Structure 1
Amino acid sequence: MQPVAVVVGGSRGIGRQVALDLAQAGYLVVVAAKTTSDPASLATFPPDPNSNDSTINTVAREINEAGGHSLAIKVDTRSVDSVNALFTQVMEKFSRMDVHVYNSGAIWWSSVEKTPYKRFKLMQEVNVEGLYACIQAAMAIFQKTHWRARVVVVCPPIYSRFFRGKTAYAVGKVGMSVLVKGLAMDWECEGKEGMAISGIWPATAIQSAATEQFQAQDASPAARLRKPAVFAEAIVAMLRAPEGVVSGVLTTDEDFLCEHCGVVDFAKYIVVEGSSPPRIMPLEFPVLEVAEQDDEGRRVDSTKMAPKEKAKV
């Protein structure tokens, strides 16, 4: 039976490329996002992958016309009901999900003072809350398929410089990274050896709808970018690696391809021939483990508390 991958945030840019590469790798791809359209209404096809003309429907059509198998399902990650409906449909149609990629995201880079609460709230709803809702909704599928699946989250390694100038954004994104680390620990403690969750982030800025927002602030923006293929290929490689190698890992596309696939030349991924896009991530990241890593004392589980104790918490 063909494996199933669900790409949330798969309508444009990086998400679209991930969906295409997963289809090429043999997955039946469910392309999920908020934007929908009628591909037949477009004057040219396929549309610009970073434009609003690129939707879950156009991406699904691209995959199907290339000989793959894809289905577009609308989802609004700000709505738990919408998220639950997505995974219910996946379960009803395919009875399985082998891969879940969470690429949905909202972005606003500025100081705390210049970030309105409504903007902050939107980022948390789409980023960390949307991811959490998807993970919760997917649990029923994971359980039915005997806890053998992979989750890949677009979130960064944790380091202090990431917070600078974009604290409100970092709150949610680093929250996603914490979920990757914590859920990997849960699955390890529970003996779910067939499960793995990983976080991945661009080492160098990637051509996408998000980076195009910042082009006006850069004199030569395209020369600083790589193609989204580098990110998609890293995710596919991550899915092929053993669970123990990738579960709980927070890494970058470049670092994973270098360390696990032997890639040393990234010239084929640059947008402007002859350019040298700069790395935007540190060369090394902090180690998060502590000496007392495995000594957590008495573990508290709120689900096992008496009703009165739960009320106090």
Structure 2
Amino acid sequence: MKTLENKVALITGGSRGIGAAIARKLAAEGAKISITYQNNDVMANQLVDEINSAGGSAVAIQADSGLAEQAIAAVQLTVKHFGGLDILVNNAGIAVYDHISKLSLEQYDRVMDVNVKGVFASVQAAVTHLKQGGRIITIGSCQADRMPDVGGSLYAMSKSALIGLTKGFARDLGPLGITSNLIQPGPVDTDMNPAGSEHAAGQLALMAQNSFGRPEDIASMVAFIAGPEAHFVTGASLTIDGGTNC
């Protein structure tokens, strides 16, 4: 028996990188998958075709997580397509790095809209559909706790806000049997932060393990938290970063 058989999961920003790995892993565990994407419908549809061809069930929804009404609509469309919702994975996020003297208020608004407001709107929309055993899982960053780089103030702030939201959601929804947890990855080898980039050496120097994580590493943690064995885990910030700055 697959651990997520007949469950419905929505993964925001699920067309590539960590989000796509999460979609594949949850589908392999039996979940019906809904992913959102902002612009790249080709990658999103390729992933949907891959999951469906392997015997799963998946759909892609175009949505900008920085626009609350689109984040809410993605939840509603998922419920309409699959008849319910059991797992919400808030994965969509953006990173803007620059010295504090150069960051604009427009950049502030965009980062907070995607990384924080979009999470809040998605969860609020999902609450009316989640039932006993429901899961809210948010992807944050180890930089919420430790910021070693110049220019990371805005990104770190947005990811730190998710710690408070996660704990608040856990308190509000615990009596309903719904858990809320935050996963905080460190350096992960994706197209946005490749292990072979010019910035990789500096990141590796901060890590206890001398290698980047894989998207599948994060996906495995998500699958565990989404499954029945993690029913007693809630309000937690779970760091998976190879010992970055430990």
Matched residues in 2 for 1:23 and 1:86: separation? 18
Runs of 4+ aligned residues of structure 1 deviating over 6 Å after TM superposition are: 220-223
Selected match of 1:279 from 236, 239, 243: 243
- CA spacing shift, 1:141–1:213, aligned 2, 3 Å: same
2:139 corresponds to 1:154:
yes
- Preserved contact between residue 153 and residue 200 of structure 1 (Cα < 8 Å): yes
Q: Aligned match of 1:3 in 2, 7, 28?
A: 7
* Corresponding position of 1:186: 172
TM-score (normalizing by structure 2): 0.86
- The corresponding residue for 2:63 is 75
Residue 215 of structure 2 corresponds to residue 251 of structure 1: no
Assess if the C-alpha contact under 8 Å between 2:143 and 2:156 holds in 1: no
Structure ranking higher on relative contact order (CA contacts 8 Å, 6+ apart): 2
Displacement of 1:157: 6.1
> In the alignment, residue 76 of structure 2 is paired with which amino acid?
T
- 1:197 paired with 2:175, answer no
Instruction: Answer yes or no: is 1:212 the counterpart of 2:194.
Output: yes
Q: Which runs of 5+ in 1 are unaligned?
A: 39-54, 255-277, 283-313
Contact 1:156 1:199 in 2 (8 A): no
Question: Who is 2:88 aligned against?
Answer: 100
Aligned to 1:25: 29
Q: Helix, strand or coil for the counterpart of 2:138? A: strand
SS in structure 1 at match of 2:193: helix
TM-score (norm 1): 0.68
Kept in 2, the 8 Å contact 1:31–1:59? The answer is no
Aligned-pair Cα RMSD in Å: 2.5
Q: How many residues align?
A: 235
Aligned ranges for residues 46-195 of structure 1 at < 5 Å? 55-142=43-130, 146-156=131-141, 161-162=146-147, 165=150, 166-188=152-174, 191-192=175-176, 194-195=177-178
Q: Work out the percentage of aligned pairs sharing the same amino acid.
A: 24
- Gapped runs of 5+ residues in structure 2? 205-209
Greater displacement, 175-184 / 77-86? 77-86
